[in-house]
Amino acid sequence: MTPVETPVTATAREVPESTTAAELLRRCEVLAGYSSMPDGLIERVYLSEEHRQVNALAAEWMQAAGMTTWQDAAGNQCGRLEGAVPGLPALLLGSHLDTVPAAGKYDGILGVLSAIAVVERINASGRELPFALEVVAFADEEGTRFGRALLGSRALAGTWDDAWWELHGEDGVSLRDAFTAWGLDPATIGDAARRPEELIGYLEAHIEQGPYLEDENKALGIVSSIAGARRFILTVTGKAGHSGTPYERRRDALAGAADAIIAIERLARSAQLIATVGHLQVFPDAVNVIPGKVEFSLDLRGEYDSERDRIWTVIQGLLDDICRQRRLRWDSVETHSAPAAVCSARLRGVIADGIRSTGDKRPMSLFSKAGHDAMAVAEITEIGMLFVRCEGGVSHNPEERVTEDDVAKTIDAFERAVLALAEQTDAPAPVGQTDAPAPAVQTEQGL
C-alpha cells in the first residue's frame, strides 16, 4: 500500500499558544468590542477613539510577538522584526482594522492578526531571515468616514493627494481638522511614505468576499489580481412638482434615475463587470412631491482597466439617452479611482507553496472583485494575497463567518509562504536603517 502523504502543519509542532487559530478568533471577538455602534454592531472609522484603542491593542500584540512598534504619520499601526542583520529591506504583512458600518468581525482584522501570529512564530523559532518582517495595520481601507478609501495605504505608498485634506465626514469635520484633533500633523503626512528600496514585497491574508472557495470546498485560494475600481456620485435633475401633475408634464428625476440604475445593471452583467449602486438620496423626499433631484453612487469594477473605462463611456451614453427622453439632465463627480493590481508571479508562487503545505495540492486561483490595501501598496512593491473561505461569501455584514480549521490553515499557509520566500532570497545589503522608523506619534501602551 502506498503511504498517504500527511502535511506537516503548525498544529503538529509546538507553536506559541498566542498564535493558534483559537486565540486569533478570540482576538477577533475582542476587537469587535471596539465600536461606535450599539447593540453589538461593529463600526470603527478613521481617526476615531475606537481607532486609537485598537491601534494600542495591536501594538501590544506586536510587542508580545517580538516587534518594535510605532504609529506612522497617517495613523497606521506598524511593527518590525529585524532579519539576519539589522536594517534589511522588509517584507510587509498586513491588512486593515477599520470597518464599514454594521461590519463583520474578520474583514481586514483576520489579516492583521494572522500577520502578527506569523511574525511571532518565526521569532519564536529563532530562524533568521534574509529580510526584516514588518506588520502594518492600515488605518482607513474602507473610506467609511470621509468617503475616500485606502487613505492609510495611500500614505504608506507615497501617493497621498493634498486635495483630500478638504474632504468632510457626515459630522461636518474635515479630514485636516480630524487629523489635528487626533494628534497627527497634516504637515508630516509625507513621513508615512515608504521607499521601494526599503521593501521586498507585501503579503496580505483576507477573507474571500465571494462564494467561489466555498463552492469548490477549498479553505484557501491564491489571488491573481485585484479589480480596478472607479466610483462616482451621479446627480439626475428634473423638476419637483405636485403628485397630481399629469405624467406627460412630469420631469421625474427618480423615475429617470431608476431607469438608469436598471440599465447600468443590465449592461454590467452582459459585460461581466461589477457595477453597484449603494447610495441613493431623493430631493425633496416628500410623499406627495415628484422628485426634482436624485443623487446616487456608482461603484464600477473590472479585472481590466480598459474594459471598465469603456463601459463607463457606454453608461454615459445611456444616461444621455434616458435624460433626453424624460427631459432631465445629469452630471457626475468621480470620487475614487484605482487601477487594477496584478499580484506578482513570485508571490503567487510562495502563496501556492503555503497552501500546498496545508494539504491542498491544487490551489485555486481567484480574481478579487473587491478592493484591498494591496492595490495601493502595489505602487511601490510587488504584492501577493491569500484568500480565506468565508461562509456564503458574505462580507461587510455581521453574518461574516470563518471556521477555526480554516483559520489554522491560514496561519500555517501564510507562515510557509514567508519561509518559502526566504528560501528564494539572497540577503541584500541593509538600507541604512538599523531600527524601526522613529514614530511620528507615540503609540499608547495599554487601554
Q: How would DSSP label each residue in 6-18?
A: ----GGGS---GG
- Same-domain status, 14 and 69: yes
Q: Mark which of 293, 319, 338 sits at the end of a domain.
A: 338
Q: Mark which of 280, 303, 338 sits at the end of a domain.
A: 338
Q: Is 423 annotated as a binding residue?
A: no
CATH number, domain of 312, equals 3.30.70.360
CATH number, domain of 31, equals 3.40.630.10
**Cell digits of residue 306:** 480598459
Which has the closest alpha carbon to 200: 88, 114, 123? 88
- Same-domain status, 306 and 409: no
Q: Is 279 annotated as a binding residue?
A: no
Cα dihedral sign, 273-102-335-195: negative
| Domain extent for 307 | 228-338
- Same-domain status, 397 and 279: no
- Same-domain status, 268 and 351: no
pLDDT of 96 over the 80 cut: yes
From residue 177, alpha-carbon distances to 43, 164, 167, 168, 180 in Å are: 21, 12, 10, 9, 5
Q: Is 396 annotated as a binding residue?
A: yes
Is-contact 204 385, C-beta < 8 A?
A: yes
| Whole-number Å distance between alpha carbons of 284 and 66 | 57
- Same-domain status, 308 and 374: no
Q: What percent of the chain clears pLDDT 70, i.e. is strictly above it? A: 93
**Cell digits of residue 38:** 450599539
Is-contact 41 399, C-beta < 8 A?
A: no
- Same-domain status, 358 and 250: no
- Same-domain status, 247 and 309: yes
| Whole-number Å distance between alpha carbons of 298 and 232 | 5
Q: What percent of the chain clears pLDDT 90, i.e. is strictly above it? A: 88
Average pLDDT over residues 407-434: 87
Domain count, the chain: 2
List, in sequence order, the alpha helices (H) in 149-301: 151-157, 175-182, 212-215, 253-271
- Same-domain status, 147 and 192: yes
Residue 1 lies in a domain: no
- Does residue 284 have a cis peptide bond before it, meaning omega lies within 30 degrees of 0? yes
Residue 131 lies in a domain: yes
Q: Mark which of 303, 338, 373 sits at the end of a domain.
A: 338
Residue 152 lies in a domain: yes
pLDDT of 424 over the 50 cut: yes
Confidence of residue 371 (pLDDT cuts 50, 70, 90): confident
| Whole-number Å distance between alpha carbons of 403 and 359 | 17
Q: Give the pLDDT confidence of 271-310 residue by residue, as tens digits.
A: 999 999 999 999 999 999 999 999 999 999 998 899 999 9
**Cell digits of residue 44:** 470603527
- Same-domain status, 115 and 247: no
From residue 31, alpha-carbon distances to 42, 46, 67, 96, 307 in Å are: 9, 15, 20, 12, 39
Q: Is 308 annotated as a binding residue?
A: no
Is-contact 274 227, C-beta < 8 A?
A: yes
Residue 3 lies in a domain: no
**Cell digits of residue 151:** 487613505
Q: Give the pLDDT confidence of 160-218 residue by residue, as tens digits.
A: 999 999 999 999 999 999 999 999 999 999 999 999 999 999 999 999 999 999 999 99
Residue 370 lies in a domain: yes
Residue 63 lies in a domain: yes
pLDDT of 7 over the 60 cut: no
| Whole-number Å distance between alpha carbons of 326 and 245 | 15
Q: Is 123 annotated as a binding residue?
A: no
Q: Give the pLDDT confidence of 388-416 residue by residue, as tens digits.
A: 999 999 999 999 999 999 999 999 999 99
Question: Dihedral angle at the C-alpha atoms of 289, 256, 321, 305, nearest 10 degrees?
Answer: 140
Q: Is 50 annotated as a binding residue?
A: no
Residue 439 lies in a domain: no
Q: Give the pLDDT confidence of 334-349 residue by residue, as tens digits.
A: 988 888 999 999 999 9
- Same-domain status, 186 and 101: yes
- Same-domain status, 55 and 131: yes
- Same-domain status, 38 and 146: yes
Is-contact 443 59, C-beta < 8 A?
A: yes
Confidence of residue 432 (pLDDT cuts 50, 70, 90): low
The residues, ordered by sequence, that sit 6+ positions from 4 with a Cβ below 8 Å of its Cβ are none
The residues, ordered by sequence, that sit 6+ positions from 190 with a Cβ below 8 Å of its Cβ are 73, 158, 160
